Chain A
Amino acid sequence: MPESDFITAQLTPEPADWRRKAVQALIACGTMLALFVLLIFGLTIERLWLFVGLIVVVVAVAIFYQRSRGMRGKLEQAFRTSRASVLILLIALLAAYPLILSRDPYLIHIGALSAIYVIMALGLNITLGFAGLLDIGFAVYYGAGAYMSAQLAINFGVSFWLGLLLGGLTAAFFGFLVAWPALRVHDHYLGLVTLGYGLMMNLLARNLAFLTNGTDGVINIPPPAIGTHAFTEPLSLGPLTLPFQANFYYLAVTLALITAFISYRLRQSSLGRAWDAIREDEIAARCAGVDARGVKVLAFSTGAFFGGIGGAIYAHMIGFIGPENFTFLESITILVMVVMGGAGNIAGVAVGAIILVVLPERFREFEHLRLLFFGIALVLLMINRPEGIFPRTRTRRLLPANKLAAALPHAQKSLSPAAPMQAR
């Protein structure tokens, strides 16, 4: 293609067709709404066999969707072009969730729990999805944040909000602690180091009774409060009174949205690019000026910070924290949320976390079979979709045409002399 054609093609603005945009926004928002209704439906169905039927239908639709390229392209395009409306609808639906289910405190609790796990999975997504560092000891940070904020609140009367922050920072420190020595090793070996770290820390939590109260755990953790409104009191919104679980729900969902926003910002930044680079080829990245060690430690600590935030909310919501809350299995669960949802894809990881909270809750009757189903689902998914349900989007950001135009004076200058420059 001649250069001039290419540049004209880049600079011609797409026709501002509001009707097409409106249709796309409608498609995207409609899909969203349908998924939400499906979720509510799935949560409230009484009979288990109906729920299983629903899952089968959803999986079938998902497989059909994956096979049909045209449909996939259209839907992806719709979501891309109408980001703002999708976001507004998402916030509205999240806000409406406790209102719709105001008679069912348990489901609001599940919602809050999902949001907590979304926070933690998004944290691990920074370490694993963005920077490509395998961390199989993520529950350590969960525990660090939970113990720190709980003990501060019980022993020193520190408010939840300060405790939340300090819990996050403590967790970040624990991330830093393992990152510094562990980053001498790579890939699977890094996984093994963090695995050992997780097991070790769990054992320490069981035995350092003066810090953690040993296997008895920490009980009677005071609930958070805003002013005089304690989170254990029902939430009254004008004429409507919601069960107290809604307090925690709104808290966790708000923090989850903030976490998602920060994740998005990180991904868009030069730091996110540096993480991409070390994930792709560390040697080349170092030669290109990326402080590999520095950005890796940053990825570990930032991820751990959100693990700690999740842990702190959990501790104050349940009111109890013990070593059994952050075992090896917990680390694996968070890891699977990230890998199953799609490492590196913020929305995918959030969906992965929600699925892995909701499904086990629905199948409580079959708790003894949980790991079996879990394993089967994971094996099937990894065979068919190794990059997760929502794979990472490859071309992360498209430089818009006006960026090209900004560089164009130079571009044209060097494009015009077709004759190669003479060597010497």
Chain B
Amino acid sequence: MQRPLLQIEGLSKNFGGIRAVSELSLSLNNGEILAVIGPNGSGKTTLFNLIVHLYDSSAGMIHFGDPPVDLTRRATHEINALGIARTFQTLRLFVNMTVVENVLVGMNARLHAGLVKAIIQSPRTRREEAEAEAEALELLSLFGHRLISMYNEPAASLSYANRRRLEIARALASRPSLLLLDEPAAGMNPTETREIMADIAAIHQRGCSILLIEHDMGLVEGLAHRVIAIDHGAKIAEGTYQEVCSNPEVIKAYLGSGAHANGDIRQ
């Protein structure tokens, strides 16, 4: 059997006395879209922060790739270079930089920002830059005209939905094999949510595995191959969308008992 792309075992994170993530294990196969659901404060974003090593984990291990690399021993920017890119639930764009520059920053791991290189600017460096710019524009064009028509404007001038799209474009700039999306549809209207769903599907088609945090259950149902539900930092259910959503514990902790009756979840 093929080795999973991402394998997390017994991962824990304590903040003082609070256990944000508790002995969590999960694995994500190559080419898979895995969704993580759970109530607010259940440790979903903490999980992301642990994967990219913004937090030190208290226990457990995170293996990525083949041959596997232990991410708990790598710096955040190295993890990006290994092929993991993420977006943020609370948008973290470089708002005073232009749209295209935001994407170019995402290519930093490949461009190797060096002092001598910057001062000399050999033809090779210039060619690399030109190629990077072309690729950045191509990534912007993934979202139709929405981003590319604004490519030279500061990111601050983008609408909310376009900022979410730009976050995804910036994450894709490092050519990740695993994309971590933290609530990509948060704050979007139904039409925009449908569009972002299509965009994510297209990104998946490009050969990118995706780990997804989302509250919009329609999006989760439409995209995820598998779903994991967590509560208080621990996994409470795992399986297909149907399996997880009919799990009594998930209904109790997250979806609410009225969910079926209200028709929030079909079938």
Does A274 belong to the interface (CB within 8 Å)? yes
- Candidates B125, B198, B200; contact of A422 at CB < 8 Å: B198
Q: Is the CB of B170 within 8 A of A6?
A: no
Binds A, one of B12-20, B34-42, B87-95: B87-95
Q: Is the CB of B194 within 8 A of A420?
A: yes
Does A289 belong to the interface (CB within 8 Å)? yes
Cβ of B141: which chain A residues have Cβ within 8 Å of it? 407, 410-411, 414-415
Q: Is the CB of A284 within 8 A of B138?
A: no
Q: Is the CB of B86 within 8 A of A287?
A: yes
Write the nearest CB–CB distance from B46 to chain A, whole angstroms: 14
The interface size bin for chain B is 35 or more
Chain B residues numbered 104-157 whose CB sits less than 8 Å from any CB in chain A: 104-115, 117-119, 121, 125, 129-130, 132-135, 137-138, 141-142, 144-145, 148-149, 151-154
Cβ of A421: which chain B residues have Cβ within 8 Å of it? 198-199, 201-202, 205
Cβ of A399: which chain B residues have Cβ within 8 Å of it? 100, 133, 137, 151-152
Residue of B with least CB distance to A419: B198
Does B101 belong to the interface (CB within 8 Å)? yes
Chain A residues numbered 394-416 whose CB sits less than 8 Å from any CB in chain B: 394-396, 398-399, 403-404, 406-407, 410-411, 414-415
Does A94 belong to the interface (CB within 8 Å)? no
Chain A residues numbered 253-307 whose CB sits less than 8 Å from any CB in chain B: 262, 265-266, 268-274, 276-277, 280-281, 283-293, 295, 298, 302
Q: Which of B52, B114, B145 has the most CB of A within 10 A?
A: B145
Give CA–CA (A399, B98) in the complex, Å. 10
Q: Is the CB of B121 within 8 A of A265?
A: yes
Q: Which of B144, B200, B222 has the most CB of A within 10 A?
A: B144
- Candidates B110, B118, B129, B144; contact of A266 at CB < 8 Å: B118
- Candidates B96, B107, B115, B134; contact of A403 at CB < 8 Å: B134
Q: Is the CB of B145 within 8 A of A1?
A: yes
Residue of A with least CB distance to B91: A284
Does B57 belong to the interface (CB within 8 Å)? no
Given known pairs A277-B97, A398-B152, the reply for A283 and B105 (CB within 8 Å) is no
**Number of chain A residues close to chain B: CB under 8 A:** 51
Give CA–CA (A203, B75) in the complex, Å. 37
Does B265 belong to the interface (CB within 8 Å)? no
Does A47 belong to the interface (CB within 8 Å)? no
Cβ of A187: which chain B residues have Cβ within 8 Å of it? none
Residue of B with least CB distance to A276: B97
Give CA–CA (A348, B16) in the complex, Å. 47
Write the nearest CB–CB distance from A79 to chain B, whole angstroms: 19
Cβ of B85: which chain A residues have Cβ within 8 Å of it? 287-289
Cβ of B75: which chain A residues have Cβ within 8 Å of it? 286, 291, 293
Binds A, one of B24-32, B76-84, B209-217: B76-84
Q: Is the CB of A289 within 8 A of B97?
A: no
Write the nearest CB–CB distance from A196 to chain B, whole angstroms: 27
Does A237 belong to the interface (CB within 8 Å)? no
Write the nearest CB–CB distance from B164 to chain A, whole angstroms: 14
Q: Is the CB of A414 within 8 A of B81?
A: no
Residues of B at the A interface (CB closer than 8 Å) are: 52, 54, 75-77, 80-81, 85-86, 88, 92-98, 100-101, 104-115, 117-119, 121, 125, 129-130, 132-135, 137-138, 141-142, 144-145, 148-149, 151-154, 170-171, 173-174, 194-195, 197-202, 205, 222-223
The 3 A-B pairs of least Cβ separation, nearest first, read A269-B118, A289-B109, A407-B137
Known: A2-B145, A3-B144. 7 other contacts (CB 8 A): A266-B115, A268-B118, A270-B118, A289-B174, A411-B137, A415-B144, A423-B197
Residues of A at the B interface (CB closer than 8 Å) are: 1-3, 6, 262, 265-266, 268-274, 276-277, 280-281, 283-293, 295, 298, 302, 394-396, 398-399, 403-404, 406-407, 410-411, 414-415, 418, 420-424
Sample 5 A-B pairs with CB under 8 A, ordered by A number: A276-B105, A288-B173, A290-B77, A407-B138, A424-B222
